[in-house]
Amino acid sequence: MAKILIVENEMLVAWHIQEALEKLGHNIIASVTSGMEAIQVPAAIKPDLVLMDIQLEDNFDGIAAAKEIHDRYDIPIIYLTAHADEETLQRALKTNPFGYLIKPFQEKQLHITITIALHRYQLEKYLEDTKQQLVNTITSVRDATIATDYKGYITFINSAAAALTGWHKKKAIGKNINQVLTIINRKTQQEIENPVVKGMQRGINIKFPNSCLLVARNGKKIPIRETAAFIRNGDGEIVGSILVFQDITKHQQIYATRQQQEFDLLKTSATKVGSIASQLESSQAVAVVKPEMLSIAFVDNLTKVANRRYFDNYFKREWNKLAQGEAPLSLVLCDLDFFKAFNQIYGYQAGNDCLKKVASAIRQVVESPENLLARYGGKEFVVVLPNIRVTGGMWLAQKIRARLKQLKLTHVGSTVNNYVTLSLGVASMVPHLDSSPTILMAAAKEALAQAKAEGGDRVIIRELN
C-alpha cells in the first residue's frame, strides 16, 4: 500500500488518522506538526502521499508547505482543514491539490479520497512520462519539427527547427507560426501566408507550395521541403498541428551536379557522333540517315508508342526534374484482362491487332505533350503524368477505361465483361532526390495487382508521402 506523511497540528486527530490508515494497510512514514518538519521529511524518505493540515504550529501554514513540497518533490497532497471558507479554498486550489477533506470526516471518506488521489497521480505521472518520451523522440529527430496549438501559436520546437529558423527555442514558444516560420515564393520572392492556421480552422488538409524558401531570422533564405498534419483530441477535434521541414540545399546541389554530368555526357556523345558522321561522309558510306533508324531505339515496333527503354530514361529524367521543384508525379499502369485467353481464342495476329487498338485508344486520352505513353511489357502500358496528383491520375485512368469500352472489342474468354477491358493501377507522390523512382513504380504495380486480384476492369490508387 501507500507510504503516507501526516502533517497535522492536533495530536489526537493525527493519532486517529494514523490508526485508520494503518487499518487500511497504509504505511505511515512520519507524523509531524509543523510546515518546516513536513518539508524536511521527503528529503530522507519520499512518501507517496501527504495529508496536510492547513493550520500548523509554525509560520508555515499548510498551503505554503504544500507548495514547497510539490515544487521540490512532486508529491500529491490532500488538504485537511476545519475551515471551509471560499478564500481558503481558492488559496488551496492554486497549489493543485489531489483532495480536500473538511474536518471532521469519516474513515470511508478518507479511504475514498486517498484511493482517488493515488490513482489520479499515477495516471498523471504516466501521461507526463509518455509526453516526455514523445518530446524526447521529436527532439532527437533530425528533421526540423514544430508543434502549434489550434490558433497557430508554437507549443514545441526542436533543436533542428530552432537552428534552421534562427530562433532560440524558449523565445519561439508562444510565438505565432507566421513569425517563426516565414516562407516566400522562390520565383516571385513574395511572402506566402502559412497555410497551417487556415487549414486547422477550415478543417482542410495543410498543403504547402511546391517551391518555397524559408526566411531565417537573420534574413538567410533557405530552400525547404515541408509536410504538416493535424493534432486531434479524443473526440477527433483539431487541437493543433505538427510541421516537419527539411533544408533541401544539398539536394539541389546534387541535382545541379547530376544535370552538369548529363550535359557533359551529351557534349561528349555529340562530339563522338560528329566525328563518326565526318568519317562516314568522307568515305561516302552513308549519304542520308533515315528517320526510322533514329526511332528504332525509342519506339515499340508493334504499337508505335514509346518503348520500355525510352520510358525508363524519361521516367528517371522527370523524377529528378520534379524533385527539384517538389512537384507531383503520377503513374498509370495498364494491363489487359484475360489477354492470354484472348490469344488462345482469336490467335496471336488478332492479339497484336488488339494491342494496336488499345495503344491507339490510350494515346487519344493522353493528350498533353508532357505526358508519356509507353509499352511497358507484353500486354502492359504505362502512362507518365508529370505535375499531376493522384486525383488527376485516377480521373485519366477512368477515362482510359471508358474509352476502351467504347471500342467494344469482343472477348468471349473474359469472365468480367463481354469485351476487352483493362485493369489499372495509379500511384502518385512528390519525388525526392534522395529516393528512387522505383518506389513509385512499385506502388503502381501493387495497385495494379490489387485491381487484377479483385477481378479486373477497375482502377486502384496508391498515394505515397
Question: How far apart, in Å, do the first and last CA atoms of the chain sit?
Answer: 50
pLDDT in tens, 299-356: 898 999 999 988 998 999 999 889 887 789 999 999 999 999 999 999 999 999 999 9
Least confident of 16-20, 123-127, 271-275, 417-421: 271-275
Is the same domain home to 215 and 238? Answer: yes
Question: 367-394 burial string, b = 16+ CB within 10 Å, else e?
Answer: eeeebbbbbbeebbbbbbbbbbbbeebb
Number of domains present in the structure of the chain: 4
* pLDDT band, residue 135 (cuts 50/70/90): low
* pLDDT band, residue 176 (cuts 50/70/90): very high
Is the same domain home to 435 and 338? Answer: yes
Res 40: pLDDT = 93
Res 227: pLDDT = 75
Res 199: pLDDT = 80
The CATH number of whichever domain residue 187 belongs to comes to 3.30.450.20
Res 224: pLDDT = 85
pLDDT, the chain, mean: 85
Q: Could you tell me which residue, 172 or 235, shows the higher pLDDT?
A: 172
Res 290: pLDDT = 43
Res 234: pLDDT = 74
Whether residue 409 has pLDDT greater than 50: yes
Average pLDDT of span 36-64: 90
Average pLDDT of span 179-194: 86
Is the same domain home to 89 and 153? Answer: no
Q: Could you tell me which residue, 58 or 418, shows the higher pLDDT?
A: 418
Least confident of 101-115, 123-137, 170-184: 123-137
Cell numbers 506538526 correspond to what residue? 33
Report yes or no: 144 and 172 within 8 Å, Cβ to Cβ. no
Is the same domain home to 112 and 126? Answer: yes
Crossing angle (nearest 10°) for helices 107-140 and 11-23: 70
Is the same domain home to 21 and 62? Answer: yes
Average pLDDT of span 423-437: 90
Most confident of 135-144, 184-193, 198-207: 184-193
∠ CA 196-198-203, rounded to 5°: 95
Is the same domain home to 194 and 315? Answer: no
* pLDDT band, residue 206 (cuts 50/70/90): low
Please report the sign of the dihedral spanned by the C-alpha atoms of residue 134, residue 137, residue 139, residue 143.
negative
Average pLDDT of span 155-171: 92
Which of 181, 179, 176, 180 lies closest to 150 in space, CA to CA? Answer: 176
Average pLDDT of span 178-197: 86
Q: How far from 207 is each of 155, 225, 295, CA to CA, in Å? A: 21, 11, 42
Q: Residue 269's domain spans which residues?
A: 252-288
Res 293: pLDDT = 44
Is the same domain home to 261 and 303? Answer: no
Is the same domain home to 256 and 343? Answer: no
Q: Domain ends where: 77, 103, 137?
A: 137
Least confident of 70-74, 258-262, 311-315, 370-374: 258-262
User: What does the alpha-carbon distance between residue 67 and residue 79 come to, in Å, rounded to a whole number?
Assistant: 12
Whether residue 285 has pLDDT greater than 50: no
Whether residue 405 has pLDDT greater than 80: yes
* pLDDT band, residue 205 (cuts 50/70/90): low
Is the same domain home to 408 and 312? Answer: yes
Is the same domain home to 203 and 307? Answer: no
Is the same domain home to 85 and 21? Answer: yes
What residues have CB less than 8 Å from 166, skipping those under 6 apart?
A: 216, 217, 218, 220
Please report the sign of the dihedral spanned by the C-alpha atoms of residue 198, residue 210, residue 436, residue 164.
negative
Res 289: pLDDT = 40
Average pLDDT of span 65-83: 91
pLDDT in tens, 223-270: 887 777 788 877 778 888 888 888 877 655 655 555 565 555 545 544
The CATH number of whichever domain residue 404 belongs to comes to 3.30.70.270
User: What does the alpha-carbon distance between residue 280 and residue 273 come to, in Å, rounded to a whole number?
Assistant: 10
What residues have CB less than 8 Å from 77, skipping those under 6 apart?
A: 49, 50, 51, 52, 66, 69, 70, 95, 97, 98
Q: Domain ends where: 288, 315, 345?
A: 288
Q: Domain ends where: 112, 137, 162?
A: 137
Is the same domain home to 379 and 315? Answer: yes
Average pLDDT of span 427-455: 91
Res 271: pLDDT = 53
